Structure 1
């Protein structure tokens, strides 16, 4: 197995600034000794110079054969590639990017990498990035705008663009746009392309579902205060509740986690609501666990609705009524927008209601 030592960020920046095309990535290749004979220290990396010398061609020819094969003959390309494979040469993405300014890497920052909803977003984005010849670099902001900004600052010199499920303020996103292309998930901002769930239609579906079951008092368990999606969902629910004569109580904000479900459930039970709508499924599942612990029947005493339809929503007791967020499709679409395959400023995706056993007729 190859053993690789990456250069420090400062070293990489220095080499990019001075025009160095070979970064010192230590790579030991079985069967090839690059030591200088002075002991058993680590081997030096196989470089483009080694490939050129072994192939009997100029360094520039070897570089073109591996990075821009259309500029050399087919015979030369095949010969250089065979030598590179035999020696175990691994091109460095950062070094290759120096002439073109492109690394074929994309940055994806999500607010909680452990959330199954974000895992689906990552999976869709990674599949589409790989199909287009890009590598996806993933970072977790842990719902902290400052950490998100720090991730972006570190990654910006090395990626061609960003996919963000962002908690950073508008000014910060506009500043980033001036440095790298950006696409947003579940957030809209003038001059930045985005992919969003249809929050208005999903709010309509939830309210109509609950009113059909006789509910007239509903509580919404808010998500993070910095979440654009939460504010938009809250506004949509309020509008549709007014339209249907439903009293809406706002509770929170709460962290969108299982652990926060206990406090959210207790807050909901202190109101006269007969149904609660949670910001996401993790919070809703935590609510179900707390209600079971307190002996509150669901849906007999209280109906519960989530959002995202994550893996596990069907394993709750009872299975969770929720909105099926198209996270996989969103991830693919975001990458296509970033690399120019979709020319649009905003893509809106449906989130159909999936009715399960956690909602039922209003208690009498």
Structure 2
């Protein structure tokens, strides 16, 4: 992309970006404030031009001069969990294109750390994106009333949210296992405070009842690879032939533990993970898992937050956005032992 001159001393405008990209100024405005309304290739070209020209939105420049910080907090429960890598990348790119700085916080799977951090961010950030909050509904709603907020994978009345529809993929996973002859399936639950885990179990138990198969809940387990050993032992003890795990990390830990015990996957036990993190297809065997548009969820959350921060910019304020998911079948699922 060839650099176009901008008059000395004059900040770049959306018209400069439009001229550089060969699009209308209104398209640039939509791409920077409500990006899901612009096709991906055009949006990426506009965002790259905005970075190249060091563009700062007028609304953001005014905000900085009126006491705003120009920063947005992004809070995740565990920064080492690969699920959040793409999410953080999505929020980072979207915020940078809009002229904001991202303040990344690891809340350590702790509701206390999360609550204290939210209070601190009221002074250091203009708004906050909270992924997989461990706070109760009342506390989270009260925090959202004090500062602009969007949650990811946490549905609380009155709080704008991006929901990754993993319950739908959970039903797909159950149907996949039933088609392979499995009639005794375990759900390896995540943290007790995880709304996503609760929603998946509710969907899974209803689907199992409709289909006439047995599904039991095991756990809760911390969403880490180390939890997989205990989860695998519990699954073997329960007598199930297949498991749907809360996330890929637990599922990968289960693969390792089952191998240590001399059990074969999928011949003796089928395993399904969730999130399709980097490396899920490198496992032995490659992990069947529920794939999510994680980076896009981060971008949409930023778009929803910017609509709160800059209501005059023309973006559409949404209170809820649901991201679709799907099952990716790999080598960790196969016919039930009795079906051979």
TM bucket (normalised to shorter chain) is 0.7 to 0.9
> 1:12-51 deviations in whole A, cap 9, x for unaligned?
xxxxxxxxxxxxxxxxxxxxxxxxxxxxxxxxxxxxxxxx
Distance 1:348 1:263 in 2: 33
Which residue of structure 1 aligns with residue 78 of structure 2? Answer: 112
Which residue of structure 2 aligns with residue 355 of structure 1? Answer: 329
Question: Residue 270 of structure 1: SS of its match in structure 2?
Answer: helix
Question: Residue 337 of structure 2: SS of its match in structure 1?
Answer: coil
Deviation larger for 145-154 or 325-334: 145-154
1:126 matched to 2:100: no
Gaps of 5+ in 1: 1-64, 70-95
Which residue of structure 2 aligns with residue 315 of structure 1? Answer: 282
Cα distance change on mapping 1:66 and 1:146 into 2, 3 Å: farther
Aligned pairs for 1:121-160 within 5 A: 121-160=87-126
Decide whether the 8 Å contact of 1:106 with 1:135 is kept in 2: yes
1:286 matched to 2:253: yes
Q: How many Å apart are 1:99 and its aligned residue? A: 4.7
> 1:105-128 deviations in whole A, cap 9, x for unaligned?
100100110011111110011011
1:335 matched to 2:302: yes
Q: How many Å apart are 1:244 and its aligned residue? A: 1.0
Distance 1:227 1:66 in 2: 48
Aligned pairs for 1:201-240 within 5 A: 201-240=168-207
Q: TM-score, normalised by structure 2?
A: 0.78
Distance 2:179 2:230 in 1: 28
Decide whether the 8 Å contact of 1:141 with 1:148 is kept in 2: yes
Decide whether the 8 Å contact of 2:64 with 2:70 is kept in 1: no
Distance 1:211 1:339 in 2: 44
Decide whether the 8 Å contact of 2:266 with 2:334 is kept in 1: yes
Cα distance change on mapping 1:176 and 1:116 into 2, 3 Å: same
1:168 matched to 2:135: yes
Decide whether the 8 Å contact of 2:164 with 2:292 is kept in 1: yes
Which residue of structure 2 aligns with residue 42 of structure 1? Answer: none
Q: How many Å apart are 1:189 and its aligned residue? A: 0.9
Q: TM-score, normalised by structure 1?
A: 0.73
Distance 1:242 1:197 in 2: 24
Runs of 4+ in 1 over 3 A off after TM superposition: 65-69, 96-99
> 1:66-109 deviations in whole A, cap 9, x for unaligned?
9999xxxxxxxxxxxxxxxxxxxxxxxxxx96751322210010
> 1:206-252 deviations in whole A, cap 9, x for unaligned?
11111110110000111001101110111111111111111011110
Which residue of structure 1 aligns with residue 167 of structure 2? Answer: 200
Decide whether the 8 Å contact of 2:141 with 2:157 is kept in 1: no
Corresponding residue pairs, total: 275
Q: CA RMSD in A?
A: 1.9
Q: How many Å apart are 1:358 and its aligned residue? A: 0.1
